[in-house]
Structure 1
Amino acid sequence: MRTSAVGHGPSGKGVGLGLALVSALAFGGSGVAAKPLIEAGLDPLHVVWLRVTGAALVMLPLAVRHRALPRSRPALLAGFGLLAVAGVQACYFAALSRIPVGVALLVEYLAPALVLGWVRFVQRRPVTRAAALGVILAAGGLACVVEVWSGLSFDALGLLLALGAACCQVGYFVLSDQGGDAGDRAPDPLGVIAYGLLVGAAVLTVVARPWSMHWSVLAHSASMNGARVPAVVLLLWIVLVATVLAYVTGVVSVRRLSPQVAGVVACLEAVIATVLAWVLLGEHLSAPQIAGGAVVLLGAFIAQSSAPAERAAPPVASGGDRAERELSARGTAA
């Protein structure tokens, strides 16, 4: 099956929505696997480096298979690696060192609203009211999920870093859509992901300095809500599911949906992460968090049901006016 094919119509959109949900589930499962590793002694940035580098090694055969991509699409691959892989991770973890987790998550997931702005004002494409309403509902529900009011502290640099993570996430959705309407000439998404992970791993190696990591942690087990789990098993989950599967299904879903719709569905990642933390780590949910999760689901449902706005058809002309408009239309087409 050609992974660069784009599905149009109800069936293609249904497949795209399913892939977007799988991507959100996979991305959302990264936190519950990473937290035990961090509590066992690994630095958060080292966990990110292991995640991206391990995924890059898994995808290396695909990079070899699509070795012509760096010559044909160097800017796309560099942008995907710097923004969608390294940029999101580095900015988000840097923001966490200065502002509460809930605030950082809320600012980062302003990305769907920024995607709408990009589509409307930069690409000059119409945006439906349903997509805009879905963004508003998702952002409001997300504020309840992360309980943003419990940690309101304004650190200018921390907020800028979180906003940087949001902008990098916009790059993820926009770059994932590049070439989606080019048919057989579109860059294969698996090749784009493979080279993006390689670029991200190279950048994060400089930032994380893995030679100072406590490698011995991976040889032991970590505690997950009282249960002992081998650290290697958690690492494999982060690499294979929360990174490889998450990026592959996410990029393909953007090709089949649109950046703005896929961005709103991606807000489910925070909800899924919160629910998984409740089930697997014993972090209980409050009533506002449950209500906020329902609002995010409603916003995602409204956004995915939207369709691109169509231009209104011109009024029917008669006689000479009709002939004159037909000639004008032919001249414009020529």
Structure 2
Amino acid sequence: MPAPALVTGGVVGLQCGAALTTRLYPTVGPAGVVTLRLCIAAVVLTALWRPGLRGDRGTLGIAAAAGTLLAVHHLGYYEAVDRLPLGAATTMEFLGPFAIALFGSRRAADLLWAGLAAAGVVLLSNSGIPLNAAGLAFASLAGCCWGGYLLVGKRLAGRVPDGRGLALAVTWGSLLSLPYGIAQAGTRLLDPGTLALATAVAILSSVLPYTFHLEALRRLPPRVFGILTSLEPAVGALIGLLLLGQHLATPQWAGVLAVALASIGATRPPGRTPRPSTGR
């Protein structure tokens, strides 16, 4: 599967899972959602890859750093979604990958596509609704952690050729989130209906996207990966429309088009210089 398709598939899974989590908030709250999502994902990934702890300290340290960033990102993002509209929270979260795309650029065209993506994000967030300050702070924290994860995940993908590194990272992240989830939701985390829905969320939002994204990071520089994830606000808007009945204003649909064009432009290979004629 082409790397851009892996990134896109991961983005769709993340946003579908985010839509499903709206049904879990009244029962377990944001921290409970994060704990269930990461713990279930850790169980699935560990069963699939069976990672060991005999790796070198450098690899284990990178996996722990990736897991820490994932846990803090999740906690920040779902606390933001609890206070902000889904599109606004996702837009702020995108600032992390956008910064990676901007600072890692090497060509003027890269800056053009990054700028177009940024303009699309601004249009998407132009809803005219006052935004909660704490929600914006949590979303900004999530964006910083997501940008950091792109860099650390790239190193992890280079050291571990399969999903064992991801399984270790998610397991560590689940352990970090567990005290917060228990403190907020307690025994409600074990409700059968909650566990069933949380399993669907974990598969859609963690197992599939992180597997796809780690494989894509093996093939793409973080800059291109960051610009490709600019599709996330647009996909979130479409998922919100189809699954949650959230309608968009005309400027927001313009933002959807802008980020889509930016993603297409960022993944186009540079033009080849024609070979000089040999006269034959």
For Structure 1 versus Structure 2, the TM-score category normalised by the shorter chain is 0.7 to 0.9
Unaligned runs of at least 5 residues, structure 2: 271-280
Q: 2:124 aligns with which of 145, 155, 163?
A: 145
* Match runs of 1:25-40 below 5 Å: 25-39=12-26
Q: 1:135 aligns with which of 111, 114, 118?
A: 114
CA 1:32–1:212: 2 relative to 1, 3 Å:
closer
Aligned-pair CA distance for 1:213: 3.3
2: CA distance between counterparts of 1:283 and 1:111? 25
Aligned-pair CA distance for 1:141: 1.1
2: CA distance between counterparts of 1:297 and 1:47? 30
2: CA distance between counterparts of 1:90 and 1:216? 16
CA-to-aligned-CA distance 1:124-181 (integer Å, 9 cap, x gap): xx6222322222222221222233542256x3x654443322221111111121165x
* TM-score, with structure 1 as normaliser: 0.72
Instruction: Read off the aligned partner of 2:35 and give its amino acid letter.
Output: W
1:273 matched to 2:252? The reply is no
CA-to-aligned-CA distance 1:257-279 (integer Å, 9 cap, x gap): 11111112112222222212211
Partner of 1:326: none
Question: Does structure 1 conserve the Cα–Cα contact (< 8 Å) formed by 2:42 and 2:167?
Answer: yes
CA 1:271–1:65: 2 relative to 1, 3 Å:
same
1:235 matched to 2:198? The reply is yes
Partner of 1:92: 77
Aligned-pair CA distance for 1:280: 1.7
Partner of 2:7: 20
Partner of 1:106: 91
* Match runs of 1:298-313 below 5 Å: 298-305=261-268
Aligned length: 271
Aligned-pair CA distance for 1:210: 5.5
Aligned to 1:285, what secondary structure does the other structure show? Answer: coil
Q: 2:256 aligns with which of 266, 287, 293?
A: 293
Question: Does structure 2 conserve the Cα–Cα contact (< 8 Å) formed by 1:131 and 1:306?
Answer: no
Q: 2:171 aligns with which of 198, 218, 225?
A: 198
Instruction: Read off the aligned partner of 2:188 and give its amino acid letter.
Output: W
Instruction: Read off the aligned partner of 1:201 and give its amino acid letter.
Output: S
Unaligned runs of at least 5 residues, structure 1: 1-13, 120-125, 221-230, 308-334
2: CA distance between counterparts of 1:250 and 1:232? 25
Question: Does structure 2 conserve the Cα–Cα contact (< 8 Å) formed by 1:63 and 1:195?
Answer: no
1:247 matched to 2:220? The reply is no
Aligned-pair CA distance for 1:195: 0.8
Q: 1:162 aligns with which of 118, 139, 144?
A: 139
CA 1:293–1:197: 2 relative to 1, 3 Å:
same
Aligned to 1:188, what secondary structure does the other structure show? Answer: coil
Higher relative helix content? 2
CA-to-aligned-CA distance 1:67-96 (integer Å, 9 cap, x gap): 33364512211110011x112112223445
RMSD: 2.8
Partner of 2:39: 53
Partner of 2:246: 283
Aligned-pair CA distance for 1:48: 1.3
Question: Does structure 2 conserve the Cα–Cα contact (< 8 Å) formed by 1:94 and 1:161?
Answer: yes
Aligned-pair CA distance for 1:99: 6.2
Aligned-pair CA distance for 1:108: 1.9
1: CA distance between counterparts of 2:136 and 2:84? 7
CA 1:173–1:31: 2 relative to 1, 3 Å:
same
Instruction: Read off the aligned partner of 1:209 and give its amino acid letter.
Output: I
2: CA distance between counterparts of 1:94 and 1:301? 31
Task: Specify the structure having the higher radius of gyration (Cα).
Answer: 1
1: CA distance between counterparts of 2:162 and 2:35? 22
